[in-house]
Amino acid sequence: DQQVKQNSPSLSVQEGRISILNCDYTNSMFDYFLWYKKYPAEGPTFLISISSIKDKNEDGRFTVFLNKSAKHLSLHIVPSQPGDSAVYFCAASRSNDYKLSFGAGTTVTVRA
């Protein structure tokens, strides 16, 4: 069963604008959430994470928001740059085993 869902397979955004990627999860035992970025022919690269005890984490142009009651998180990229064009995966983990459950990914295309 898919415990982490990314319902938007693709997103197109103009350079300089904000990209918002969404992710929903079903397992209330998840206590850590991560975003990974993936370029073709490469493995996923860790981008940013958030613990379930927080509702926001910011790192430069990237901010992740967590709404535990809605079991929803989002990644904001502002401003979007051409190098941000990639597939973004949302992942979730529990502190008893740390294995990651991934969503299906969202392909972001930043237009010049």
Partner 1 sequence: DTGVSQNPRHKITKRGQNVTFRCDPISEHNRLYWYRQTLGQGPEFLTYFQNEAQLEKSRLLSDRFSAERPKGSFSTLEIQRTEQGDSAMYLCASSSMAGLLYEQYFGPGTRLTVT
For partner 1 (CB under 8 A), the number of binding residues is 25
* Nearest residue (CB) to partner 1, 78 versus 100: 100
List of residues 6+ apart from 37 with CB closer than 8 A: 44, 45, 47, 84, 86, 87, 88, 89
62 binds partner 1 (CB under 8 A): no
**By CB under 8 A, what part of segment 11-50 binds partner 1?**
32, 34, 36, 41-46, 49
Q: CA of 59: how far to CAs of 7, 23, 48, 65, in Å?
A: 24, 19, 7, 12
Q: How far apart are the first and last CA of the chain?
A: 38
84 binds partner 1 (CB under 8 A): no
* Nearest residue (CB) to partner 1, 78 versus 109: 109
Measured CA to CA, the distance from residue 32 to residue 64 in angstroms comes to: 12
Query: Minimum Å distance from CB 82 to partner 1?
Result: 22
Query: Minimum Å distance from CB 36 to partner 1?
Result: 8
66 binds partner 1 (CB under 8 A): no
